[in-house]
Every structure is written in C-alpha cells, then in structure tokens.
Amino acid sequence: MRDHYNNLKIDQCLDPDTVTTDTDCDSVDLLGYNDGVLFIVNVGASGDTLSSSLYTELEVEESADDSSFTDVDDSDLSNYVAGNNDGTFAKIDAAAEDDAVFYVQYKGSKRYARVVINVTGTHSNGTPIAVTAIRLGKQSLPVS
C-alpha cells in the first residue's frame, strides 16, 4: 500500500530532557528507506541567557556502521546554517530563537544518521529538547 502511514517510521531519538552538555541522540537505521530521514527537534525556552558565547547548535552526523560517526556534508541536508561543524542546521543564540521547532531532512548515502546537540559556554540551567525522527520512503523488500 502506497500511503504515508505504511511508508514511514517514527522514532523518538531523544526523550524530552533538559540539556546542559553536548548530547548525542539515538541513531536511526535507514536501511530500506529510500528518502532518508526527517529530524524534528522541539526546543523549549532556555533557562540560561543565550548570547554569542552561550548557545546551542543542532547538527546531523552519519555512519556506515552505527559506531563511527562523522559530520554530514551540508549538501546532504535539506537546509543548513553556518556553524562550528558541517551538518549544522540550527544555531540558537538568542531568546527569540528558542522555544521553537527545528527540522531537517538527511538525504545522504550512509546507513545511520543522528542529531547531535552541541552546547557552547556553561549552560547551568539548560534547555528542554526532544528529538523525533521520521524515516521516509519505505521500500518493499523482495521476498526470498
């Protein structure tokens, strides 16, 4: 059946949590999903005063073996911003930028992908963040 319900898979990659340090979200296995993955990141209001020296970046990493991850090339993302690393799709450095939803589609060739939350500066109170992945374009595997 070719409908959205039967052709995608939704996973919680990071349960809602208050993030104060760098955090790697759970990876997703893209085997059998032709259209990659859409990551949705829900960010709450920061408990710290954000600035050019106290901020959070959201980034995508990829892996062939679910063990060794590297930064995604910006061209493998639907959208990106300038950040400390390739694969950055959001930089949150002001109160007007938190309490928002950010999303990005990874369309690279590696089997595994994940979101990484990079924090710069001392985040004493942290920011509530949750990450959801929607794997896209499930392919029918041949019956053997």
Q: Is 100 left (phi over 0), alpha (psi -120 to 50) or beta?
A: beta
pLDDT at 3 over 70: no
pLDDT of 137: 84
Complete domains list, the chain, with CATH: 8-136 (2.60.120.1110)
What sign for the dihedral angle of Cα 132, 117, 53, 74?
negative
Please provide residue 48's backbone torsions phi and psi, each rounded to the nearest 5 degrees: -120, 160
- Phi, psi for residue 88 in degrees, rounded to 5: -80, 130
pLDDT at residue 144 tops 60: no
Share above pLDDT 70 across residues of the chain, in percent, rounded to a whole number: 94
Q: What rounded mean pLDDT belongs to the chain?
A: 93
pLDDT tens digit string along 47-101? 999 999 999 999 999 999 999 999 999 999 999 999 999 999 999 999 999 999 9
